[in-house]
Structure 1
Amino acid sequence: MTPTLAPIDWAVLIATLLIIVGYGTWKTRGSKNVQDYVRGGNTSQWWTIGLSVMATQASAITFLSTTGQAFSDGMGFVQFYFGLPIAMVIICLVFIPLYHRLKVYTAYEFLENRFDLKTRSLTAILFLIQRGLAAGITIFAPAIILSVVLGWNIVTLNIIIGTLVIIYTVSGGTKAVTVTQKQQMFVIFAGMLAALFIVIDLIPKEVSFVDAIDIAGATGKMQVLDFSFDLENRYTVWTGLIGGTFLMLSYFGTDQSQVQRYLSGRSMKEMQMGLMFNGLLKVPMQFFILLVGVMVFVFYQFNPAPLNFIDKSTETVLNSEYGDEYRSLQEKQNVLFTEKQELSLKLSTDEGERTRIQLSKLDSIEKNYRLESKFLIKKAIDSEYANEYTRLQNELEGLRANPVSDAFINKKDELNNLYKDSAKDTQTNDRDYMFIRFILNHLPVGLIGLLLAVILSAAMSSTASEINALATITSIDLYQRNQKEDLGEEHTVKMTKWFTLLWGIIAITIACFADLAENLIQLVNIIGSIFYGNVLGIFLLAFFFKYIKGNAVFVGALITQAIVIIGWWFDWMPYLWLNLFGCVLVILIANVLEFIKPSKK
């Protein structure tokens, strides 16, 4: 059943979004030169840069998937960000002084000066591929939310959300993105604080915050640090410090969506202070968001939770031949809930280690129930489409004697639509739905609208940064650089606006074909890890290996990218290690190629 928003929630949601879009469009109207449109006129102060950098990274995926990750697996995901402060220091000492001295508009201009045009173009294209994909996913995430809230088609919502972002990004360029992100971050901080206080308040009064932490700890949700060297474990202190550092170096040092944020600073000092501000605040912010997800988990120790947070999936399986099996699972979970509730209350009155162990075992049992429920849902959906598929195939066979008839064509179209629907609806992963379901079912009127505005503001800020950067790279690194004559600043700004519109449309198109995959935030980071290590290696070659020439780097980058994609496809290592792997590999291959046959610049 689709939830209904109260009028006050609609008012809060619509007013927040319209104010942000309207303010960004009005404040930055009339950007006529490249300096203003691409670098924001170099007027940003350090705190504006810091908030803009954080807003670019904090997409809707952050709030949907990170809370869902904590609900399912606990606080360990925060280790992913341990390399961030290290990366910020290195970027402030190495990258920013170089970019500032060369007065570049994009990070990849430097590569042409150091190597050659083809290396600059290749690196720019790698950025366009990975960031274009990510931009589509950042639109898809909030579309999921509104599809739950409104019952609207996800494709329609992708178009609406993407259009809102395009309006002010095309109008004002980098300055519009930066200006609006300050308001968006204010909404985000206010909303997440409110969510934490509300969820704690909803936990029974006899259970204090310390008790809630203890309950979460008993089920392993508060285990933050993992010092193991198990490569099968995605999130450990070492993957965060090593793989995470290389990922963050690539993202903040070479990804134009981030580089463009701090290049708008009024001085090198402002740029450096802005990045350090982000480095100091980002890890606590992610810890806080994960804590919200853990507190929602504790809330559900005292309140019944669905086996699956996607209502449509539950309805499908209950109406299928597997309905009785699913109801049996629901009954088992109800019995389990009563036991967990009693144990949680005991633990809050200091019942000891035995209670902790019992609660942990019950939590493991419930996880198995959830896995069983997903399996049943998948079978039910497949069965539903299988029966429909058989019926349509039989009807099609009867019409095959006249394949040009309207009846045959209509049945063929119906069968094709069935394939599309089957691919779209076979989603059983519900972690990304957990937080939105909690918001809609348990938060008070008014706050629901605010939390929806938080998630949509985050999506808009991140998507705006991405399509702004994509357009800049396309315009400056590819279009303008390959023109034989200088067409003037007004023409460059005009073309950048057209490229912004084009990339906005591409992002919307990608969003329409997106899937939940395993977990949205992991999907974005996996895409980045496939490309970022290679790109970072190219930059490190430019910084520190003065004897390496352009041909060796270009060929080495192509070989490295192919190997990294193969390594990801065959799951050679956890995805975070791909950043280190790609970085080291391109450096080694370029050195070998240079040694075998010295290249000319």
Structure 2
Amino acid sequence: MPDLDLLVFFVYLLAIVGFGVSFSFKKRSSSDFTTGGGRLPAWAIGMSIFATFVSSISFLALPGNAYSGNWNGFVFSLSIPLAAWIAVRYFVPLYRKLGSESAYYYLEERFGTWARIYASACYLLTQLARMGAILYLLALAAQALLGWSIPTIILITGISVIVYSMFGGIEAVVWTDAVQGIVLIGGALACLGVIFWEIPGGSSEVFRIAEESEKFSLGSFELDFTTSTFWMILVYGLFINLQNFGIDQSYVQRYLTAKTEQEAKKSTWLGSLLYVPVSFIFFMIGTALFGFYQAQPELLPKGIAGDKVFPHFIVNQLPVGITGLLIASIFAAGMSTISTSVNSSATVILSDHFKKYIHPKPSEKTSLLVLRLASLGMGILSILVGFAFNGVESALDSWWALASIFSGGILGLFLLGLLSKTQKPQALIAVILGVLVIAWMSLSTVWVKNGFPETFANPLHTNMTIVMGTLTIFVVGFGLGIFIQKRNIKIKSFQDLNRW
């Protein structure tokens, strides 16, 4: 690779790590580490929310998805405004009033300790899957540039993010995210411009080839949830995005870094609405790449497909210097999300586990030590998960499936707490049934392969796991709550009658 590209890439990487670490030189408390003392500006928080959403899963997997298929995956983005509105209307005010840095403190207040443990454990598993997928996708891009092995790149990237996440805290995460958000938007636009400029026949050729191949299709509009239809992706997106903006520690923590509730709401709108047009650009890149290589098939070697097409284009077709910028953009997308996950996971470990079971009132020094050790531990585990992702056919599909499983339907438990009078026993029964549904939907394919009858298989699409798990918990819990409430009213009425 040209020296200029390598220089751009390494200067960017060192600058971001150095910028993040610089926040560690301030006098810090555990509150500074987790919420930035509640003094960060709304625009920076909004850019951080956006950059967290736009991971390398978006930067590489969305173009790969559009290249291999169509725009069915873009339907996911269309659900974001509604999810953001619900979050701004109900969740942001709730968390601002609770006075806890943990998103799962509310569940303990509502249903007891078990609910907080369950939700926080599901969150940590989800973050490990997410960080692993992102590290793997980063390695795909960097391998084409550097020629190093994927495990080596995963290791180096993981260590780089761990360093500034450990020492800089949430301020380092938010401000580096803000910078990285700007870089990745610029990189995506530059790449799309180059494709349109270099394809023989110009941009009109891209649209002609794409229309002939039905690349702009949003999927079937049949009301079918067994395959990847428009409605299936829309429902899945609504549930996932409600979980993101409503109960995900990564987002909730940012609501607490704002100066006021109004500022927190502004940052949520900025971060969520900015993602929709940017995801449009990513899908357009994938479609444009399809047209580019259909018009010039000799430029694409055999064996390059899916998630690997965009990295191949970046390294082999972009002008010198722009390649380094695009690789830096991909790393910007990935590093911002990983650093967020590391910081928020450390906060969950301190607040929901260490303070709860080991040391209820630790000193500031102890709290900071736990936060940094937890950051290190989660970072190391994410590197191992990244190794496990090496070789998957589609990182996007794998991530979506794991997100559905590990979420554990905790959105259903939150909704149960907010929208019903259901108490602890009924909620516990609902969660147990929800987990059983999730286990069946996730594992039935494996069981059928091992001798179980076909009728035992899950008929729905894998992405519907989170939907059915959430609905099971909410509907069962809500129903039991009403049943118990009516029974208690009848018992009380009977007792009053006897007393009379």
The answer as to 2:53 corresponding to 1:60 is: no
CA deviation after TM superposition for structure 1 residue 211, in Å: 4.0
The answer as to 2:123 corresponding to 1:248 is: no
The answer as to 2:283 corresponding to 1:290 is: yes
Amino acid at match of 1:472: T
Q: Is 1:83–1:244's contact at 8 Å kept on the other side of the alignment?
A: yes
- Within a 5 Å distance, the mapping from 1:302-317 to structure 2 comes to 302-305=295-298, 310=303
- Within a 5 Å distance, the mapping from 1:317-328 to structure 2 comes to none
Which residue, out of 315, 339, 342, partners 1:467?
A: 342
1:391 paired residue number: none
Greater CA drift, 136-145 or 527-536: 527-536
The separation in 2 between residues aligned to 1:24 and 1:112, in whole angstroms, is 34
Which residue, out of 572, 575, 594, partners 2:459?
A: 572
- Within a 5 Å distance, the mapping from 1:452-491 to structure 2 comes to 452-483=327-358, 485-491=360-366
The separation in 2 between residues aligned to 1:303 and 1:211, in whole angstroms, is 12
- Cα deviation per residue 1:533-573 (whole Å; 9 max; x = unaligned)? 61100101111112x12232234213312311211333431
Distance of aligned partners of 1:115 and 1:231 in 2 relative to their CA distance in 1, 3 Å threshold: closer
Query: What SS is found at the alignment partner of 2:177?
Result: helix
Q: Is 1:309–1:433's contact at 8 Å kept on the other side of the alignment?
A: no
2:490 paired residue number: none
2:222 paired residue number: 228
Amino acid at match of 1:294: T
Greater CA drift, 162-171 or 503-512: 503-512
Amino acid at match of 1:529: S
Greater CA drift, 35-44 or 209-218: 209-218
Unaligned residue ranges in structure 2 (runs of 5+): 445-457, 488-500
Greater CA drift, 146-155 or 246-255: 146-155
- Cα deviation per residue 1:121-175 (whole Å; 9 max; x = unaligned)? 1111111112212212211211222233333222222111000001100011111
2:401 paired residue number: 526
Query: What SS is found at the alignment partner of 1:539?
Result: helix
Query: What SS is found at the alignment partner of 1:487?
Result: coil
1:426 paired residue number: none
The separation in 1 between residues aligned to 2:118 and 2:91, in whole angstroms, is 20
1:589 paired residue number: 476
Q: Is 2:222–2:229's contact at 8 Å kept on the other side of the alignment?
A: no
1:151 paired residue number: 147
Query: What SS is found at the alignment partner of 1:445?
Result: coil
Distance of aligned partners of 1:224 and 1:268 in 2 relative to their CA distance in 1, 3 Å threshold: same
- Cα deviation per residue 1:89-112 (whole Å; 9 max; x = unaligned)? 000011110100112201101111
Amino acid at match of 2:211: G
Amino acid at match of 1:300: Y
Distance of aligned partners of 1:51 and 1:226 in 2 relative to their CA distance in 1, 3 Å threshold: farther
CA deviation after TM superposition for structure 1 residue 63, in Å: 1.5
CA deviation after TM superposition for structure 1 residue 484, in Å: 5.3
- Cα deviation per residue 1:455-504 (whole Å; 9 max; x = unaligned)? 11111111111111111111110111223541222311221111001111
Unaligned residue ranges in structure 1 (runs of 5+): 312-429
Query: What SS is found at the alignment partner of 1:481?
Result: helix
The answer as to 2:85 corresponding to 1:89 is: yes
**TM-score, structure 1 normalization:** 0.75
**TM-score, structure 2 normalization:** 0.90
1:214 paired residue number: 208
Q: Is 1:21–1:168's contact at 8 Å kept on the other side of the alignment?
A: yes
Q: Is 2:136–2:389's contact at 8 Å kept on the other side of the alignment?
A: yes
The answer as to 2:21 corresponding to 1:134 is: no
Identity percentage of aligned residues: 29
Which residue, out of 563, 568, 581, partners 2:437?
A: 563
Query: What SS is found at the alignment partner of 1:228?
Result: coil
1:186 paired residue number: 182
Count of residues paired in the alignment: 474
The separation in 2 between residues aligned to 1:29 and 1:79, in whole angstroms, is 44
Q: Is 1:146–1:157's contact at 8 Å kept on the other side of the alignment?
A: yes
The answer as to 2:415 corresponding to 1:540 is: yes
Q: Is 1:557–1:586's contact at 8 Å kept on the other side of the alignment?
A: yes
1:169 paired residue number: 165
Which residue, out of 34, 53, 57, partners 1:38?
A: 34
